[in-house]
Structure 1
Amino acid sequence: MAICMPRIIQAKKILKRSFSNGCSTSTTMNIPKGHFAVYVGEQEKKRFVVHVSLLSQPTFQELLNQAEEEVGYNHSMGGLTIPCNEDVFTDVASHLGAL
């Protein structure tokens, strides 16, 4: 089983950029070490805090690729935003043990 390191590195860069682009200190303090926040939803966004191990999962990487193709990564929320159905995200994250 191979892990695609370039995608993981890309995802980490996106997270760093997200935190430097407007996440307040109080928002980032609510995130335990080894986790990150992601905003999910098509219209209203819901915040999820998930473990970084999710970044190495091909299914999650596919969600990231779809998000990049649809809307890019520069969002007003200041964090990583995935514009998919919330149920789809919770199913994927739960299946991967990230929630």
Structure 2
Amino acid sequence: MGIGLPGNIAKQILRRTGSDVPKGYLAVYVGESQRKRFVVPVSYLSQPSFQDLLSMAEEEFGFDHPMGGLTIPCREETFISVTSNLS
């Protein structure tokens, strides 16, 4: 099961991630208390395991992300473990 972002909200998130992010990537902030910034390929958005992380973010923050970019409320080690298995 995937998560779908309405087009205008997805564009807002991508726009807010900053101009220092290469085309085809997006910035996400990861962590439970201290947040670390990661730049990941947008292709991750279609991966079920990454979508699970997005569901966690939606449950905690809705579409209002205090860091200005997409914030994923999981441990950094969990995020690295999930993304290291993605292509």
TM-score class, shorter: 0.7 to 0.9
Equivalent residue for 1:60, pick from 17, 31, 50? 50
- Paired residue total: 87
Letter aligned with residue 63 of structure 1: L
Gaps of 5+ in 1: none
RMSD: 2.3
Structure 2 SS opposite 1:68: helix
Q: Is structure 2 residue 43 aligned with structure 1 residue 43? A: no
Q: Is structure 2 residue 74 aligned with structure 1 residue 84? A: yes
Structure 1 SS opposite 2:50: helix
Is the contact between residue 42 and residue 83 of structure 1 (CA under 8 Å) also seen in structure 2? yes
Corresponding position of 2:12: 17
TM-score (norm 1): 0.74
Q: Is structure 2 residue 86 aligned with structure 1 residue 96? A: yes
- Residues in 1 aligned to 2:30 and 2:6: alpha-carbon distance in whole angstroms: 16
Distance 1:44 1:14, change over 3 A: farther
Identity %: 53
- Residues in 2 aligned to 1:51 and 1:87: alpha-carbon distance in whole angstroms: 18
Letter aligned with residue 17 of structure 1: Q
- Residues in 1 aligned to 2:20 and 2:51: alpha-carbon distance in whole angstroms: 24
Letter aligned with residue 18 of structure 1: I
Gaps of 5+ in 2: none
Question: Normalized per residue, which structure has more helix?
Answer: 1
Distance 1:84 1:32, change over 3 A: same
Between structure 1 and structure 2, the one with the greater Rg is 1
